[in-house]
Amino acid sequence: MADTTAGSQDSPEAESDFELGDTSNFELSEYLLFDDLMEEDHSAFLASEFAQNPIHPGNEVDKPGSSSSQHERPASRNSESGQKKKEAKERVAFITKSEIEILDDGFKWRKYGKKMVKNSPNPRNYYRCSVDGCNVKKRVERDREDPKYVITTYEGIHNHESPSKF
């Protein structure tokens, strides 16, 4: 699973019902239900489950009307001033059935924040690609009803090859 499309999106075939009412800022949102579980026995089962229920109701993974707020921090804090480049970031959410959220996908991630969300009793972890130049972010959060499931949301595309592997 290390290679799991590390670097590029695989065949997109999960988006459709996700209608973004406000596409002013967003242009693409693909949600791939992936289960890189080692026990294919369960993965197959889960796959069916997700097929019926993509995500539990009230999923905050993507709210079509909630407006996609792009957090553009003003240059106030940022050293770069006057440079606000809003690049359309690819957002891909993966649902993995695992007890650990430290899934090694072949990239080096540095945790830069943790936050408790109201929607889930579990904290949400924020990771960032440690590779310089790669501004890919990863959001890891446990399922609200099934702590065994981990929702990993990738934001951005890796502009480099995997540091490890190969």
Instruction: Rule CB under 7 A: say whether 110 interacts with DNA.
Output: yes
First and final C-alpha spacing in the chain = 14
Task: Name which of 38 and 117 has its Cβ closer to DNA.
Answer: 117
Q: Are strands 109-116 and 91-97 parallel, antiparallel or unpaired?
A: unpaired
Give the dihedral sign, CA 25/66/109/55: negative
Q: Which lies closer to DNA via its Cβ, residue 46 or residue 91?
A: 91
Q: Single out the residue of 141, 138, 150 nearest to residue 37, CA to CA.
A: 150
Smallest gap from residue 76 Cβ to DNA (A): 5
Place of tokens 């959220």: 101
**Cβ nearer to DNA, comparing 96 with 153:** 153
Whose Cβ is closer to DNA: residue 42's or residue 137's?
Answer: 137
Query: Which residue stretch of 11-19, 26-34, 42-50, 121-129 sits at the interface with DNA (rule: CB under 7 A)?
Result: 121-129
71 in contact with DNA (CB under 7 A) = yes
d(CA 32, CA 61): 12
Residue 56 lies near DNA (rule: CB under 7 A): no
Strands 91-97 and 149-155, sheet pairing? antiparallel
Residues that bind DNA (CB under 7 A): 60, 66-67, 69, 71-74, 76-77, 108-115, 117-119, 124, 126, 128, 130, 137, 139
